[in-house]
Amino acid sequence: MTENPVTIAFPSKFRPARLFSRWAVVVIVALAASTPAAAGEVVEASIGTQYEDIRLLRVADGLQNPWSLTFLPDDRMLVTERSGRLQLIEDGEKTEISGLPDDLLASGQGGLMEVLAHHDYEAQPWIYLTYSRRDGRETATTLIRGRLEGTELVEVEQLFTQDRTSRPGRHYGSRLAWTPEGHLLMSVGDRGADPPRAQDLNDHAGTLLRLNDDGTVPSDNPFVGDDGAHAEIYTYGHRNIQGLVVDRESGEIWSTEHGPRGGDELNVHRAGENYGWPVVTLGLDYGSEGKFPHAEARTREGMIDPVYEFLPTLAPSGLALVTSDKFPSWEGNLLAGGLRSERIRRVVIRDQEVLHEEELLLQKIGRIRDVREGPDGYIYILNDESNGGVYRIEPAD
């Protein structure tokens, strides 16, 4: 499907609640705020946008389908490659980290996916990773953590794996985020072949999980004590959450989620609620472009509607928030990455309503897989290419 550039203007501009997707970044901002950005190759010296002129740089290249990145307190970053490699990047140079699980299957949409540093990394130097765990010809979305010693991941332990392995190799979810209380959120996709799994509380597929940092279940999770539900589940009825952020002041959880043909969503999560997939969807069937086979309605009482539907389709990926003063006109805005759409959508929200949208970097670097605000206040991007890279957005001179 061919998509055209879009800019959606609303009556006025507001500043949304401040969000964050990686609590580790918040912890180290004060330490790193005065640190200059690492050198990078200028890709485009000046790109005009509605409120900010920006510069695009390439910080690192030669990455095979990079999926996620996280920042360490010493100005280094970790980047996952879906093929199964974890790369440590310092001053643009890559060093492969050993010690990853040998039951990882890189096939289809699966492989090594999310990476996230502990929210209090100085005291708890854990690195969290998600991957598609192989069990015969089937896989399961799985969470591990380990400690970085030199170029090796050590003390690796499995914290969670979904209760049921399945095929095909798609819709793994796998985004992670910290809440202000130190709980770990993790998305698990519906796994593609059997969408109604997302309505079954005895199945981890199609859910957002809430865990303690050691993988145990918080005692106040909404389904604790319910024999008919998995206690890890926080919300359900999701297709495939690929962007995840948390408001550090209010505790609101926001996500971007893939629909089928159309129906890509921006959601706010409320404990124990059902977000409708596949009974309720705004999208269509891939093959016929008619009603999705399992869908009964576009909205239904008792199921939570999305805050917003991205039109045209976004194919959501990473989700970030601008909190630094490097981009004063963007401060408080969401930056929603897009895969097939090859763009970032800058989204302005007030009171859980989208008021304004702007398209950024359309087809500048290909499929955008992840978007993060760095501890230096600049915006970092991964592109999902066989020869992919880490890019940085800075204000243009």
Cβ–Cβ under 8 Å, residues 383 and 343:
no
Q: In what order do the strands lie in the sheet with 152-161?
A: 112-117, 126-135, 138-149, 152-161
Q: What are the tokens at 242?
A: 């690929």
Residue 198: phi, psi to the nearest 5? -65, -15
Sign of CA pseudo-dihedral 258, 315, 117, 64: positive
Angle at alpha carbon of residue 128, lines to 123 and 132, rounded to 5°? 170
Residues in contact with 46: Cβ distance below 8 Å, sequence separation at least 6, in sequence order: 53, 54, 55, 396, 397
Q: In what order do the strands lie in the sheet with 241-246?
A: 241-246, 253-257, 265-269, 308-309
Out of 171, 183, 258, 356, which one is annotated catalytic? 171
Q: What are the tokens at 72?
A: 């360490």
d(CA 194, CA 139): 14
Q: Is 171 a catalytic residue?
A: yes
Query: Catalytic amino acids?
Result: 171
